[in-house]
Amino acid sequence: MSLLAVTISFIAAYLLGSVPNAVWVGKKFHGIDVREHGSKNAGATNVIRVLGWKTGIPVLLADLAKGWLAAMMPVFLNAAAPDTALLKNLQIIAGIIAITGHIFPVFAGFRGGKGVATMFGVLLALQPLLTLCSVGVFLSVLLFTGIVSVSSMIAGISFPVFLFSIFSTPSVLFRIFTVIVAVALLFTHRKNIERLFKGEEKKLFTFRKKTHQ
């Protein structure tokens, strides 16, 4: 293991995670800070809600890409021997650091988003097929409910369920990480959960037309 490569990987992971795509794009192209509008969250979902799909989708892909790139930094820098549990564990730690950077970005006053897209980017780097299964769960729930928060939480919970029941990994830390991800998603969406119980959570879209009373 290269201590220098590990150190650089972790620093780069935090800096990548801290890139506030939603904030910068909103200010650059629309002259607004998305954290002051909609759900007041610096995430792709709020960008879509406030600025539309044409702006939101690139932000979503950029947030996902920075998570993937952060988790791949230990691989690119040869921080440990290939195809070892140690390398996988270093990737997991780098991914956690990147997600933390997204939630507490140094480039945006430590006011970021919930880290869902960045988290999926990290998971895509760690376990692509398993992640795609959870993405399928996310899309299915989103099409059925139209609510991103519900879709994110259920998709996050599905990840450890898929891992323990269908897939496998030699890394114990990865198993723990998937459980932490599921719990963290519930924690970061606690306000959404409150709104859900109150019937106040907004849908991103709906197939049903509104009726006028």
Instruction: Report the C-alpha gap between 29 and 22 in whole angstroms.
Output: 11
In percent, the amount of the chain with pLDDT more than 70 equals 95
The pLDDT value recorded for residue 96 is 92
pLDDT score of 207: 56
Digit-coded pLDDT (tens) for 86-112: 898 999 999 999 999 999 999 999 998
Report the helix count and the strand count for the chain, using DSSP H and E. 10, 0
Whether 161 has a pLDDT exceeding 80, the answer reads yes
CA distance 102 to 125: 17
Q: How far is CA 37 from CA 26, 42, 55, 122, in A?
A: 11, 10, 15, 28
pLDDT higher than 90, residue 4: yes
Helix (H) or strand (E) run with residue 170 in it = none
Tell me the whole-structure pTM to 2 decimals: 0.81
Percent of the chain's residues with pLDDT above 90 = 52
Domain ranges of the chain: 3-198
Given a contact cutoff of 8 angstroms between Cβ atoms, the answer to whether 71 and 126 are in contact is yes
Whether the predicted pLDDT of 208 surpasses 80: no
What pLDDT sits at residue 211? 44
Question: Is residue 171 predicted with pLDDT exceeding 80?
Answer: no
Per DSSP, the three-state class of 84 is: coil
Q: Give CA torsion, residues 58, 59, 65, 70, to 10 deg.
A: 160
CB 162 within 8 A of CB 134: yes
Confidence category of residue 184, pLDDT binned at 50, 70, 90? confident
pLDDT for the residue numbered 90:
93
DSSP per-residue letters across 8-35:
HHHHHHHHHHT--HHHHHHHHHHS--GG
Whole-number average pLDDT of the chain: 88
- pLDDT at 205 (0 to 100): 67
- Pick the range with the lowest mean pLDDT from 28-42, 70-84, 160-174: 160-174
Q: Rounded to whole angstroms, how far apart are CA atoms 42 and 37? A: 10
Mean pLDDT over 125-149 rounds to: 90
Categorize the per-residue pLDDT at 213 as very low, low, confident or very high, splitting at 50, 70 and 90: very low
